[in-house]
Amino acid sequence: MTWKDLSKRLKRQMSEFLELPGEIILDLPKVVLVGGLQLIVENHRGILKFSSDAIHINISEGELIIKGKDLRLRSVLPEEIWVEGQIKSIAYGGDE
Amino acid sequence: MFVLRLLNYLTGCVTLLVHTDTPEKFINLAAGRGIFIWDVRMPAEDRVLLKIRLSAVRPFKHIARKTGCRFEIYDREGLPFLLARLSRRKALTAGGVFFLLALYFLSSFVWFIEVSGNRRVADSDIIKAAARAGLERGTPRWLVNVGAIEKSIQEQLPALSWVGLYIKGTRADIKVVEKTLAEEKQAGPSHVVAAKAGLVEDVLVLKGHPAVKEGDTVVPGQVLISGIVPPPETAAPPKEGEQGQQREQKEARPAGEPVYVAARGIVRARVWYEEYGEAELVEKGRRYTGRVVTRLCMKIGDREIILKGPAKIPFALYTEEGFPKKIPAWRNLTPDVELITLKYRELQDYILTRSKEQACRLAKEKALARAKQRVPKSAIILRERVEELVVNQPENVVRVRAYLETLEDIGVNKPFSIK
């Protein structure tokens, strides 16, 4: 645990120092929300649950829970997911 | 995104209806295998609608078997399906192809011939000449030799000085320029008669017999140089010698009969012109100020809609001028829509007060200008005289009469027939 924490801290400091985007160095998801209509998640790890009112997306640190109405996946690519519909809430959840 | 959609259309894509309640499983599997999935919807609890490319159906079948779910093809779209459908309906495809071929084939003929630029030569003559040259309705375009046809039409119609042929699609435009023909010379005998009244100053006879002499007063229409040359007087018999012989050869006809010629000569005479001019001492009137407002209106039926320009005309006095543009009527449909450009010019009342001299000068100028308008260009103005007309009662107007005296050729040709 300590070693993991240390490497994480080091990486964050590196990215801050070099002004590199965090999603590349730290392997974090990049979430772009366009109004309440469209959500783009880059750097995901797959879909955990899919239904028309909730989508759970696996990310490096737990999961991203999107709730709404008439949700649909506009496209699913290995690195990118586009969600469309009436998005009501986004939450981070998971085991951590 | 448009390029992607076009690519999907070209390669073809299918909408699948998958019966499952855990769609995330195969979505992850498919995404991992590089199958592009889009538009994933869940219309019901255990049903998923999604789109994949046509080429991805076989791998997807494999995934479906692996995850243990059933699927069916819900919808197909794209070019491959269209082609498949067309190959089933051969007559329709053949009809479409036939239509395109016919359109292409028929557009390679000349169907319309238009002639422009001619005034004296009739359209039909030019079209006939073009037909003889090898250009008529229905001539294939590949047989039209523009240069040769232009040349041939010009050779056939000597009244044309230039012929241009332009083939635009199925239309052939023949543009011509006509020759300006010189005035035809008069063939028959003629007199020289007076065009105006005047006092004959000198007579120069080139051909014919003089009918007037210096100092004569003539009236319009009077014969000045006669085309009837009387026979040489019998009292003066032809002299023996060179001159006499020449004359005998020239006029080898029985004595006593006149000779008819086209008389030519210059008869210069003094001609007088008289014109009247007036100017007001106090002039009232309206004139344009030069300010113009333009308004663009669309007229639909009885209603006018202002497209551009002010709603209210900012002038107290103005004139209105409209330039309507209408869509041309087609068959029995006359469109009720008109585009009108309206021009409003501002007017202004004005009062101008002149002194007696100013008014007099203006009146003189007017009278002289009017008189000079009637004088031909070749005339020499000998004298100008202006006379003020004095009336007993005091008036607002100054009246003036101008007299011009000129020296000019008053002769004009007038043919006559021999009885």
B322-366 pLDDT, tens digit per residue, is 888 887 777 787 778 888 888 999 998 888 888 888 888 888 898
Any chain B CB within 8 A of the CB of A46?
yes
Is A52 within 8 Å of chain B by CB? yes
Give the predicted TM-score (pTM) of the model. Answer: 0.42
Lowest average pLDDT, out of A20-24, B20-24, B57-61, B197-201, goes to A20-24
CA distances (Å), origin B362, targets A51, B330, B373: 99, 56, 17
How many C-alpha atoms does B65 have within 13 Å on its Cβ side?
6
**Does the beta carbon of A69 lie under 8 angstroms from any beta carbon of chain B?**
no
Select from A41, A45, A72 the residue whose CB has the most chain B CBs within 10 Å, as the one to mutate to test that interface. Answer: A72
Query: Among all residues of chain B, which has the CA nearest to that of A47?
Result: B24
Q: What pLDDT does B389 receive?
A: 82
In the predicted structure, residue B234 carries a pLDDT above the cut 70: no
CA atoms within 13 A on the CB side of B176: 31
Q: For A51, which of B34, B39, B42 is closest by C-beta distance?
A: B42
- Give the pLDDT confidence score for residue B332 in this predicted structure: 80
Beta-carbon contacts of B188 under 8 Å, excluding residues fewer than 6 positions away, are B262, B415, B416, B417
The residue in chain B having the minimum alpha-carbon distance to the alpha carbon of residue A71 is B41
Q: How far apart are CA B410 and CA B192, in angstroms?
A: 9
The span from the CA of A82 to the CA of B4, in Å, is: 15
Q: What is B270-308 written as a DSSP string?
A: EEEEEEEEEEESEEEEEEEEEEEEEEEEEEETTEEEEEE
Output phi, psi for B157, to 5 deg. -115, 100
Average pLDDT over residues B243-265: 64
pLDDT at A2: 76
Cross-chain Cβ contact A50/B42 below 8 Å: yes
Beta bridge partners of B386: B402
> CB A72: neighbour CB atoms within 10 A?
20
Q: Does A79 touch chain B (CB under 8 A)?
A: no
pLDDT band at B248 (very low <50, low <70, confident <90, very high): very low
B350 contact partners, CB below 8 Å, separation of at least 6: B283, B284, B285, B286, B287
Dihedral sign, CA of B264, B268, B272, B277? positive
Indicate if the pLDDT at residue B238 is higher than 60. Answer: no
Tell me how far CA of residue B159 lies from CA of A42, B126, B182, B323, in angstroms.
82, 11, 12, 38
Mean local confidence (pLDDT), B315-327:
85
The span from the CA of A43 to the CA of A40, in Å, is 10
Helix B79-88 to helix B90-106 angle, to the nearest 10 degrees? 100
A49 touches chain B (CB under 8 A): yes
The whole-angstrom separation of Cα B283 and Cα B359 is 10
For testing contact with chain B, the best of A50, A59, A65, A86 (most B CBs within 10 A): A50
Contacts of B39 in chain A (CB under 8 A): 72-75
Both structure tokens of A83: 């969600």
For residue B199, how many other CB atoms are within 10 A of its CB?
15
Q: What is the pLDDT of residues B80-135, one digit of tens each?
A: 998 888 889 989 989 999 999 999 999 999 999 999 998 888 899 999 999 999 88
For residue A7, count other CB atoms closer than 10 A to its CB: 10
DSSP per-residue string spanning B65-126: HHHT-EEEEEEEESHHHHHHHHHH-HHHHHHHHHHHHHHHHHTTB--EEEEES-SSS-HHHH
Q: Nearest C-alpha of chain B: how many angstroms from A36? A: 18
- Below-70 pLDDT ranges, chain A: 1, 22-23, 25, 94-96
Interior/surface letters B41-57, b for 16+ CB within 10 angstroms, e for the rest: bbeeeeebbbbbbbebb
Q: Determine the pLDDT at residue B102.
A: 95
A65 touches chain B (CB under 8 A): no
Nearest Cα to Cα of residue A49 among A67, A29, A74: A67
> What token pair was written down for B416?
């006559």
Contact B42 A49 (CB under 8 A): no
Q: Inspect the interface and report whether the beta carbons of A46 and B24 lie closer than 8 Å.
A: yes
How far does the CA of residue B39 sit from the closest CA of chain A (Å)?
A: 4
For residues B418 and A29, which has the higher predicted lDDT (pLDDT)? A29
Task: Return the closest-CA partner of residue B414 out of B219, B109, B195, B154.
Answer: B195
CB of B211 closer than 8 Å to CB of B226: yes
Instruction: Quote the CA–CA distance of A25 and A11 in Å, as a whole number.
Output: 7
CB B264 within 8 A of CB B206: yes
**List of chain B residues whose C-beta atoms are within 8 Å of the C-beta of residue A46:** 24, 27-28, 31-32
- Rounded CA separation B399/B277 (Å): 6
Pairing verdict, β B171-178 and B112-116: parallel
